[in-house]
Amino acid sequence: MSGGKFLETLAGKRHPTPPIWLMRQAGRYLPEYRAVRSTTRSFLEFCYTPDKAVEVTLQPIRRFGLDAAIIFSDILVVPDALGQKVWFAEGEGPKLEALTDPSQFGRLSRARLQEHLAPVYEAIRRTRAELPRETALLGFAGAPFTLACYMIEGGGSKEFGKVKKWAYAHPESFKLLIDLLIDAVVDHLGHQVDAGADAVQLFDSWAGVLPEEQLFHWSLDPMVRIAKGLRVRHPHVPILAFPRAVGPAALMYRLPETFSALSLDTGIGAHWAAKEIQPHICVQGNLDPIMLVAGGEAMEREATRILDKLGHGSYVFNLGHGVVPQTPPDHVARLVEIVRNWKPSS
Ligand SMILES: Cc1c2[nH]c(c1CCC(=O)O)Cc1[nH]c(c(CCC(=O)O)c1C)Cc1[nH]c(c(CCC(=O)O)c1C)Cc1[nH]c(c(C)c1CCC(=O)O)C2
């Protein structure tokens, strides 16, 4: 099977040591990334230049021999493709021309999504052709609630006051946006699989800001609908879910029977996950990204603790969130070694 150990693990096959890849494995912590990045001012233009996207996708694979590559792109290409203005301000993160009124939904349209995102699909096609057969290629998208956060807040946020107020006070119009995003994300993931992605991951980075009922309604149900919609087109493609910071109870709500793997943030206990989640579904995670910055014995002890808890079941080694820019690349190389040399204790 192409895609090797990672895809086999998602399909239920056990290996002596788990596969490993890292969220945000391509990025500013790598000098070779910064070198390519510096050739394009606009981040979105960079994402839409297949030569460059392919190159930076392959960089961490060449350097560390990880079991999966994730296509270099961003979750905000979807609002961009729907017609919302998106840009990245130097040192400030993403900015969007915020939606302030439901009447503005009318300006968003899926009609040109495939055409607009053709460079992403081209980058996937070329990356798949260049990757070793045993390395899986992941496509991805932001889940509707996280996309709505950026679209309504106009960028990052601490309180998420605008998006939450809109969802609570005007659920009918918020639903229109979420429904549009469900369809757009199914389209985008479907095109990524058509282009050669072996599996896809849905990132709901901000799901954890919602209280329980709202979380089910605006984050988890839409994720389930996306998985079902994608399976109509691609019945066998593995789909991973990353509903960040939702707590243990919410993870058990409809996700284990719907997805191929659940990606755990650092707040989920590995021991609990081994007992309660792993019997139902493969888990991925959940080393603290700052352990990777710290390195040394602290990282080794913590990575081994997680491996001892989860490595006996269906498991993909990863972080609990993305690699941060201050990470020393040598620590990543060491982490890969720790995972590959791990020996189950019993
Ligand atoms: C919320 C979110 C975004 N983007 C993403 C998420 C979900 C995951 C998460 O919670 O971290 C996902 C993402 N963004 C990027 C990837 C590429 C693939 C990979 O993981 O290696 C992926 C999977 C590249 C990127 N996306 C971005 C960069 C840095 C910009 C640059 O290099 O100039 C990269 C490498 C920009 C971005 N894009 C986004 C933010 C908040 C930022 C600014 C913060 C930052 O700078 O790290 C939105």
Tokens of 42: 């606009």
Question: Is the confidence at residue 3, as pLDDT, over 80?
Answer: no
Order the strands of the 136-142 sheet from edge to edge.
68-70, 136-142, 199-204, 239-243, 261-263, 282-287, 315-319
Predicted-complex ipTM score: 0.94
Mean pLDDT to the nearest integer, 262-277: 98
Indicate the top mutation candidate among 75, 201, 242 to test ligand 1's pocket, ranked by most ligand atoms within 8 A of CB: 75
203 Cβ below 6 A of ligand 1: yes
Is position 206 within any domain?
A: yes
Question: Is the confidence at residue 182, as pLDDT, over 60?
Answer: yes
206 Cβ below 6 A of ligand 1: no
Q: Whose CA is nearest to atom 24 of ligand 1?
A: 74
- Bridge partners (DSSP) of residue 316 are 284
Contact 310, 282 (CB under 8 A): no
95 Cβ below 6 A of ligand 1: no
Domain span holding position 335: 4-341
Question: Mean pLDDT, the chain, as a whole number?
Answer: 97
Confidence of residue 91 (pLDDT cuts 50, 70, 90): confident
CA 296 – CA 292 distance, rounded (Å): 9
Confidence of residue 176 (pLDDT cuts 50, 70, 90): very high
In this prediction, residue 126 carries a pLDDT of: 98
Mean pLDDT to the nearest integer, 10-29: 97
Question: Is the confidence at residue 37, as pLDDT, over 60?
Answer: yes
Catalytic hit among 37, 231, 254, 340: 37
In this prediction, residue 346 carries a pLDDT of: 62
In this prediction, residue 90 carries a pLDDT of: 84
Question: Is the confidence at residue 1, as pLDDT, over 60?
Answer: no
Q: Does residue 28 carry a catalytic annotation?
A: yes
Is position 87 within any domain?
A: yes
Is position 211 within any domain?
A: yes
Mean pLDDT to the nearest integer, 225-254: 97
Q: Does residue 133 carry a catalytic annotation?
A: no
In this prediction, residue 24 carries a pLDDT of: 98
155 Cβ below 6 A of ligand 1: no
The three-state secondary structure class of 334 is helix
Residue 109, marked binder: no
Mean pLDDT to the nearest integer, 279-294: 98
Give Dmax over CA atoms of the chain in angstroms.
61
End-to-end CA distance of the chain: 29
208 Cβ below 6 A of ligand 1: no
Contact 177, 151 (CB under 8 A): yes
| Beta strand pairing call for 86-89 and 93-96 | antiparallel
Mean pLDDT to the nearest integer, 39-45: 96
74 Cβ below 6 A of ligand 1: yes
Express each pLDDT in 206-226 by its tens digit.
999 999 999 999 999 999 999
Is position 188 within any domain?
A: yes
Is position 346 within any domain?
A: no
Q: Does residue 51 carry a catalytic annotation?
A: no
Alpha helices in 102-256 (DSSP H): 113-116, 118-130, 144-153, 161-169, 171-195, 212-215, 221-233, 247-251
Catalytic hit among 33, 48, 150, 253: 150
Is position 286 within any domain?
A: yes
- What count of other Cβ atoms lies within 10 Å of the Cβ of residue 186? 21
Mean pLDDT to the nearest integer, 36-45: 97
Of the chain, the percentage scoring pLDDT greater than 90 comes to 96
The CATH number for 252's domain is 3.20.20.210
Catalytic hit among 24, 125, 231, 233: 24
Is position 189 within any domain?
A: yes
Total of domains in the chain? 1
In this prediction, residue 102 carries a pLDDT of: 86
Backbone angles phi, psi at 248, to 5 degrees: -65, -40
Q: Whose CA is nearest to atom 19 of ligand 1?
A: 24
What DSSP element (H or E) covers 89? Answer: strand 86-89
In this prediction, residue 214 carries a pLDDT of: 98
- Can you give 46-79 as a three-state secondary structure string? HHCCHHHHHHHHHHHHHHHCCCEEECCCCCCHHH
